[in-house]
């Protein structure tokens, strides 16, 4: 799904769209909103043409308070093995697979002023599907369920995300600008508790390393109204 033949106008248009989305997120920020930084380290290990392992260590830190959050996550990704388009067997999942599933577990922690809160245990099941559109734009939908144990209480959180991307070649590097919106339904409150917006780009450095930079806007509505702005950076290793 490479776009080496894309002209400067199309490349500029895709980048401009992401910049506009990022500007809209930044423009939504208010002085009273919280702000955080979200660094993350990811590693992917290919087991076979249809399976891979994914490990993630996301971290968050508040700019206003002495609050940090982190999690240790491990997943198994399972894809339908391409038969007609065999070249996709060696291509990247995130960019080339049109239907796949992720299952795994996360241990989530948080601390404020050095005092740790009760950690959360979280099982994760997610299904991903892609739809190619004109102008080499790809829309991806994700349906995810979080099975949560928080302080010995069980609950579910359902997450629906829609993302638009377009792969570009800038110089000798592959750049994938994107914009996504995600909605969260929390059974603890029997309602839609959160909406998350993200705009950014993933840059390929070499076959084994990529990085992603993005801005995010998080609107929480349950159990109370609270808005958050974040700057994120993710380092990704592929083996």
Residue 144, exposed/middle/buried by CB under 10 A (0-12, 13-18, 19+)? middle
143 pLDDT more than 80: yes
**Number of other residues whose CB lies within 10 A of the CB of residue 25:** 20
Higher-scoring residue by pLDDT: 18, 64: 64
9 pLDDT more than 70: no
How far is the C-alpha of 102 from the C-alpha of 95, rounded, in Å? 15
| One-character DSSP codes across 176-199 | EEEEEEEEEEETTTTEEEEEEEEE
Backbone angle region of 113, left / alpha / beta, with phi > 0 → left and psi within -120 to 50 → alpha: left
Q: Write out pLDDT tens, residues 182-198.
A: 999 999 999 999 999 99
67 pLDDT more than 90: yes
Note the pLDDT of residue 49: 85
Q: Write out pLDDT tens, residues 15-45.
A: 555 555 555 565 555 556 899 999 999 999 9
CATH of 8-238, one of 2.60.120, 2.40.128, 3.30.2310, 3.40.50: 2.40.128
Provide the 8-state DSSP code for 90.
G
Average pLDDT, stretch 160-188? 96
Q: Write out pLDDT tens, residues 71-80.
A: 999 999 999 7
Note the pLDDT of residue 114: 83
Q: What is the pTM of this model?
A: 0.84
How far is the C-alpha of 205 from the C-alpha of 203, rounded, in Å? 6
Q: Considering the chain, what is the average pLDDT of its residues?
A: 87
Q: Where are the domains of the chain?
A: 8-238
145 pLDDT more than 80: yes
Q: Write out pLDDT tens, residues 92-104.
A: 666 778 899 999 9
């Amino acid at each position: 799904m490479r776009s080496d033949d894309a002209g400067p106008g199309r490349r500029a248009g895709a980048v401009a769209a992401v910049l506009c989305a990022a500007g809209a997120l930044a423009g939504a920020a208010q002085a009273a909103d919280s702000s955080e930084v979200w660094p993350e380290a990811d590693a992917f290990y290919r087991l076979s043409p249809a399976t891979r392992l994914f490990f993630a260590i996301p971290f968050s830190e508040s700019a206003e308070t002495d609050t940090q959050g982190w999690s240790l996550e491990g997943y198994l990704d399972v894809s339908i093995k391409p038969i007609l388009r065999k070249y996709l067997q060696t291509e990247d999942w995130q960019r080339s697979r049109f239907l796949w599933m992720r299952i795994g577990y996360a241990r989530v922690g948080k601390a404020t002023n050095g005092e740790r809160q009760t950690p959360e245990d979280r099982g994760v099941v997610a299904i991903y599907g892609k739809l190619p559109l004109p102008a080499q734009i790809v829309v991806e939908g994700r349906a995810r369920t979080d099975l949560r144990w928080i302080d010995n209480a069980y609950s579910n959180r359902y997450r629906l995300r829609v993302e638009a991307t377009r792969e570009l070649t800038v110089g000798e590097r592959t750049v994938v600008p994107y914009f996504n919106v995600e909605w969260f339904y929390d059974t603890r409150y029997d309602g839609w508790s959160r909406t998350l917006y993200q705009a950014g780009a993933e840059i390929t450095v070499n076959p084994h390393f990529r990085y992603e930079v993005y801005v995010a806007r998080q609107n929480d509505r349950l159990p109370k109204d609270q808005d958050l702005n974040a700057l994120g950076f993710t380092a990704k290793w592929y083996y």
